Amino acid sequence: MDDLALPRRIRSLRHRSRLTLAQVADLTGFTKSYLSMVERGKKSPPIATLSKIAQALSVEMSVFFPKARIENGLVIGRKKDRRSIVQDGSQFGYRYQAIASSTGQPKRMEAFITAFSPRRRGGETFVHGGEEFFYVLEGKIRFLYGEQEILLNEGDCIYFDSSTPHRGEAASKKIARALAVMYTP
């Protein structure tokens, strides 16, 4: 996926939905200016932002990502076919790849591999409807949930209501990776 494929896809879906930037801004709570920068590839949206944009456009989040194959009702996502979605992940402290995305059948869950940069600490928290499951594949992650701070080591996991402000960040000088699964009602 080239760096502008996601922004072009968002703009195309907005036009197809016959919505203005102002209308999408009202539906998502983001500013018109921010959404315009996302559509022009000047800002890379985090996963939570894409979730809100998808809801505003009445589409599944999977429409934003490279498609996995569907075989006999199974969605098969091959490692060789995955692409990083956010190239400048340092803006939020992480990059992510969608895995097993498909628009061939209705889905309520999306799975991502996230990579947290050790150079980024602090920043905005994310809030969106639904639930998330987070499993640490590699490294250590400091997970902020509401007022709580939880240290997650490799092999640890956390399941939570994503309507509470949350974020993850590397807790050491090495990149940390996690499997994140989002459920959107």
| Gap between the Cα atoms of 120 and 54, Å rounded | 27
Predicted confidence pLDDT, tens digits, the chain (185 residues)? 456 778 888 999 999 999 999 999 999 999 999 999 889 888 878 777 888 898 899 887 777 776 666 677 777 777 777 666 664 444 556 777 778 776 556 677 888 898 888 866 667 788 888 999 999 999 999 999 999 999 999 999 999 999 999 989 899 999 999 999 988 87
* Other CB atoms within 10 Å distance of the CB of residue 10: 23
Inter-residue contact 97 to 82 (CB < 8 Å): yes
Question: Among residues 100, 119, 118, 120, which one has the least CA distance to residue 110?
Answer: 100
Q: Token digits for 133?
A: 């499951």
For the chain, residues classed under CATH 2.60.120.10 are 69-183
CATH number of 69-183: 2.60.120.10, 2.40.400.10, 3.40.1450.10, 3.40.50.720?
Answer: 2.60.120.10
- So what's the pLDDT on residue 93? 61
**Architecture of the domain whose range is 5-64:** Orthogonal Bundle (1.10)
**pTM for the model:** 0.69
- So what's the pLDDT on residue 154? 97
For the chain, residues classed under CATH 1.10.260.40 are 5-64
- So what's the pLDDT on residue 149? 95
| Gap between the Cα atoms of 145 and 166, Å rounded | 4
- So what's the pLDDT on residue 43? 81
- So what's the pLDDT on residue 89? 47
DSSP category for residue 36: H
